[in-house]
């Protein structure tokens, strides 16, 4: 017997199902069940956080896609499942259109349809590719993992609501310190696919449940709070609704809230953090305000977000001032939000009246040139402005390890249902991945200080103004993921797909050979 046939005999548990289980079952039932499975899978993300239900949804979608016959049917089933998944998990995408509802409200239904169907194309590609591997449910899990990496990089990327993020509220989040968010997504999808990857479903389901239990148990051991701290940090939240934020009559109200929070008695505060776009004035026109900020801080530096102009270019910036109100550090946002902070092909778009929602001058922002660490009294901080926190690779752009991560954001754009909480989830992942604490000041919430183990040490709820003083934890040693990045996971995925392709080709031939010999 050829070697490849003998190889197939030693793995009887994972003989992949590649054909329809029931004759005559057309694609109509998938058109109903696939979107439902996607919707159920989406409940693993905030604000629901039903991770067991999400696993069931992913298992159901694995069965639907794996049982489909041919690449076209698998792609359609996966696309429909993706539509259900993204329509629920990214429903907050309509919120920016209602900030100025008279002008943009009519676009909201088209936005969610475009987003859900568009991102689901990555899942459709995974469904089609899984047919090429012939690997059934395991081939689908690996193909979808690869597609999610592509979604995080293609056209600047949008790695929001990765399936691995369903573990945020569990100790299993610590897996990101080893394999990162894409690796944890791969583990999640494989565990969800195991019960339908083999005819021996009871055994495979037990293996999957043991895998989930092991992941959570290991995370429980690894999720140890930091024992030491480097100093006290104050996080300020003004609670400025987006539709009022740039109202000249309200500017003094929000500024006063931040100044009062900054000047409140505290416990030897070493650094004060204000959110993104904390000032309604451009930096070059904010000199007197900077003096007031420095006086309110009582000698502690203040980090805040502000618009900065250089020639004809406008930047969304993070600025630090010292005890005299002098600017000591400036970071210009590198990864801008398409159609939010700039309009692709902006010159052409401007002629037809399309402008970025967040660009008050109608021309959008310019991207900064690089990511550099900011020296603060509590150590060297890696700056992140709003949307940049969703990219695991952003942290690596600085080229050197920080002492902590510092995010300023304006989540008022995201509404109050799911967007702000999902954004916070991703910030928690960045802390775990790097083994670094993360400080987060949000305009309307949720502002928080997050430990290196992903746990929230203290926070300000959505929709409230105020401040919190929190001892900043010391950093942990660099994690495995911090040292290796996503490349090992990507290479392992390719190797796994190659192995699945090889095994799926060997098994049918082996079965045929055995039947002919009366085995």
DSSP string computed for 366-425 = PPPS----EEETTEEEEEEEGGGGG-GGGGGGGSS--SEEEEEE-GGGGTTTTHHHHHHH
Whether 74 is a known active-site residue: answer no
Distances (CA, A) of 10 to 3, 16, 370: 11, 14, 52
Pick the catalytic residue from 95, 148, 276, 388. Answer: 276
For residue 105, pLDDT beyond 90: no
Please, which pLDDT band fits residue 21 given cuts at 50, 70 and 90?
very low
Sign of CA dihedral 374, 376, 380, 383: negative
Summarize pLDDT for 339-351 with one digit per residue, the tens: 778 776 555 445 5
515's CB contacts (< 8 A; 6+ apart) are none
Q: Are 39 and 85 in contact (CB under 8 A)?
A: yes
30's CB contacts (< 8 A; 6+ apart) are 64, 68, 73, 76, 77, 80
Summarize pLDDT for 60-94 with one digit per residue, the tens: 999 999 999 999 999 999 999 999 999 999 999 99
Pick the catalytic residue from 333, 341, 388, 433. Answer: 333
- Please compute the mean of the pLDDT values over residues 282-298 and round it to a whole number: 95
Pick the catalytic residue from 74, 148, 386, 388. Answer: 386
Please, which pLDDT band fits residue 458 given cuts at 50, 70 and 90?
very high
Single pTM value for the model: 0.90
pLDDT at 26: 52
Whether 386 is a known active-site residue: answer yes
pLDDT at 9: 38
Task: Please choose, from the candidates 185, 146, 131, the residue with its C-alpha nearest in 3D space to the C-alpha of residue 16.
Answer: 131
Summarize pLDDT for 409-442 with one digit per residue, the tens: 999 988 999 999 999 999 999 999 999 999 999 9
Q: Is it true that the peptide bond before 67 is cis, omega within 30 degrees of 0? A: no
pLDDT at 19: 39
Whether 333 is a known active-site residue: answer yes
Summarize pLDDT for 355-380 with one digit per residue, the tens: 444 444 445 899 999 999 999 999 99
For the chain, what is the mean pLDDT?
89
């Amino acid at each position: 017997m050829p070697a490849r046939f003998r190889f197939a005999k030693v793995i009887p548990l994972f003989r992949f199902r590649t054909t329809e289980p029931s004759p005559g079952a057309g694609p109509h039932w998938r058109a109903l069940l696939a979107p439902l499975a996607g919707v159920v899978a989406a409940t693993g993300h905030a604000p629901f956080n039903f991770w067991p239900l999400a696993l069931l949804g992913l298992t159901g979608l694995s069965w639907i896609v794996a049982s489909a016959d041919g690449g076209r049917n698998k792609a359609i089933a996966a696309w429909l499942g993706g539509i259900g998944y993204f329509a629920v998990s990214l429903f907050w995408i309509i919120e920016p259109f209602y900030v100025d509802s008279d002008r943009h409200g009519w676009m909201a239904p088209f936005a969610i349809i475009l987003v859900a169907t568009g991102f689901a194309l990555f899942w459709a590609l995974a469904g089609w590719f899984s047919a090429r591997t012939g690997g059934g449910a395991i081939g689908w899990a690996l193909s979808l993992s690869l597609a999610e990496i592509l979604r995080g990089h293609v056209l600047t990327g949008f790695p929001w609501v990765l399936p691995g993020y369903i573990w945020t509220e569990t100790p299993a989040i610590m897996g990101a310190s080893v394999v990162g968010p894409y690796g944890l997504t791969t583990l999640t999808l494989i565990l969800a696919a195991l019960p339908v990857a083999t005819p021996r479903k009871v055994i495979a389901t037990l293996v999957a449940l043991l895998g989930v239990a092991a992941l959570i148990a290991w995370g429980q051991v690894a999720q140890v709070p930091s024992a030491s701290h480097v100093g006290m940090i104050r996080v300020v939240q003004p609670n400025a609704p987006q539709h009022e934020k740039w109202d000249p009559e309200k500017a003094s109200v929000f500024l006063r809230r931040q100044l009062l929070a900054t000047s409140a008695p505290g416990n030897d505060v070493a650094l004060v953090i204000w959110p993104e776009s904390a000032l309604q004035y451009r930096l070059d026109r904010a000199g007197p305000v900077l003096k007031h900020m420095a006086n309110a801080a009582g000698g502690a530096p203040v980090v805040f977000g502000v618009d900065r102009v250089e020639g004809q270019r406008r930047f969304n910036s993070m600025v630090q001032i010292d005890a005299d109100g002098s600017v000591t550090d400036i970071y210009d946002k590198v990864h801008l939000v398409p159609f939010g902070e700039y309009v692709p092909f902006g010159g052409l778009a401007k002629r037809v009246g399309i402008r970025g929602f967040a660009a008050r001058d109608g021309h959008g922002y310019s991207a900064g040139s690089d990511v550099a660490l900011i020296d603060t009294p509590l150590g060297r901080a890696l700056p992140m402005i709003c949307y940049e926190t969703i990219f695991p690779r952003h942290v690596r752009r600085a080229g050197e390890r920080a002492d902590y991560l510092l995010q300023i954001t304006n989540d008022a754009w995201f509404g109050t249902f799911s967007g702000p909480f999902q954004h916070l989830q991703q910030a928690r992942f960045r802390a775990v991945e790097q083994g670094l604490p993360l400080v987060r000041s949000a305009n309307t919430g949720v502002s928080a200080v997050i430990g290196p183990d992903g746990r929230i040490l203290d926070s300000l709820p959505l929709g409230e103004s105020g401040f919190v003083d929190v001892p900043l934890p010391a950093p942990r040693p660099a994690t495995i993921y911090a040292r290796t990045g996503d490349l090992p996971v990507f290479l392992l995925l390719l190797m796994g797909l190659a192995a699945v392709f090889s095994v799926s080709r060997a098994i049918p031939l082996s079965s045929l050979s055995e039947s002919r010999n009366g085995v």
